[in-house]
């Protein structure tokens, strides 16, 4: 199987669609390989096979690297069976299919990175690469300095120990503590669970940076291409 790829993967890597959408289109008879209709999404072909989708040749996609300021409530999937809004509604004018690099839960806003460069995405998400992710947190009730120290030291979660985090307190406002927390992992709802473990609850959570890439002043719901210098810095860090 060396040098061979599943047909659905060929479509996805070319930026034509997601793998889920590729399976649907293949099964519907919309894809031809070397002049023959193929309906098996898992059938392997060489990367240089002549693939046509809806009668048009499949052309390799250029690499795209996009940062989105995701609002709360947008689901990080292509489609949602419950009809909730998805991040792809905010990326509607992009021609190539890009996939999210990691995820944010529905109640978390902020920086979400997209690309069709699978190797780059794997490096950013690899826990062994230690790419830091920074979040702005508002937690209630107020966290004492001892609780913040526990976050810095690392603590035990249900799915194993969390690595020590960098924590910068921004201040207290009534019963709420505001702080920045930087972690080098990406487990499900990790920041929320860490805050709960030290006796508080996250009220607002926003990711503000991944590695050297910062959200900055990008308005909520808007996206932009990464600048070459940003991409170079991320590659060096990842």
Percentage helix, strand, coil for the chain under 3-state DSSP, each rounded to 5: 25, 35, 45
DSSP state of 162: E
Q: Which H helix or E strand runs over 80?
A: none
The H or E element that residue 78 is part of is: none
Please tell me the distance from the alpha carbon of residue 114 to that of residue 177, in angstroms, as a whole number: 31
Question: Which residues have a Cβ under 8 Å from the Cβ of 101 and sit 6 or more positions away?
Answer: 112, 113, 114, 115, 120, 121, 124, 125, 210
In 3-83, the DSSP E strands lie at 4-6, 31-33, 36-37, 44-46, 51-53, 56-57, 65-70
List residues with catalytic annotation: 105
Is 68:115 a contact under the CB 8 Å cutoff?
Answer: no
E strands along the chain, which residues? Answer: 4-6, 31-33, 36-37, 44-46, 51-53, 56-57, 65-70, 99-100, 109-115, 133-140, 155-157, 160-162, 166-173, 176-183, 201-210, 213-214, 223-225
């Amino acid at each position: 199987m060396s040098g061979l790829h599943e047909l659905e993967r060929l479509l996805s890597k070319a930026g034509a669609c997601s793998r889920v959408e590729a399976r649907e289109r293949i099964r519907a008879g919309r894809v031809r390989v070397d002049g023959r209709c193929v309906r098996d999404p898992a059938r392997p072909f060489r990367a240089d096979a002549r693939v046509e989708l809806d009668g048009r040749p499949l052309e390799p996609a250029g690499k795209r690297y996009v940062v989105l300021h995701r609002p709360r409530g947008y689901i990080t999937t292509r489609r949602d069976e419950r009809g909730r809004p998805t991040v792809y509604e905010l990326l509607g004018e992009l021609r190539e299919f890009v996939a999210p690099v990691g995820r944010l839960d529905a109640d978390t806003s902020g920086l979400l990175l997209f690309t069709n460069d699978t190797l780059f995405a794997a490096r950013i998400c690899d826990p062994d690469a230690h790419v830091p992710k920074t979040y702005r947190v508002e937690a209630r009730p107020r966290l004492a300095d001892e609780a913040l120290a526990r976050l810095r030291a690392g603590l035990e979660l249900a799915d194993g120990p969390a690595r020590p985090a960098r924590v910068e307190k921004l201040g207290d406002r009534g019963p709420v503590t505001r702080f920045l927390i930087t972690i080098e992992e990406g487990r499900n709802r990790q920041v929320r669970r860490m805050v709960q473990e030290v006796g508080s609850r996250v009220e607002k959570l926003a990711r503000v940076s991944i590695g050297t890439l910062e959200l900055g002043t990008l308005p909520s719901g808007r996206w932009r291409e990464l600048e070459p210098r940003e991409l170079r810095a991320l590659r060096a860090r990842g």
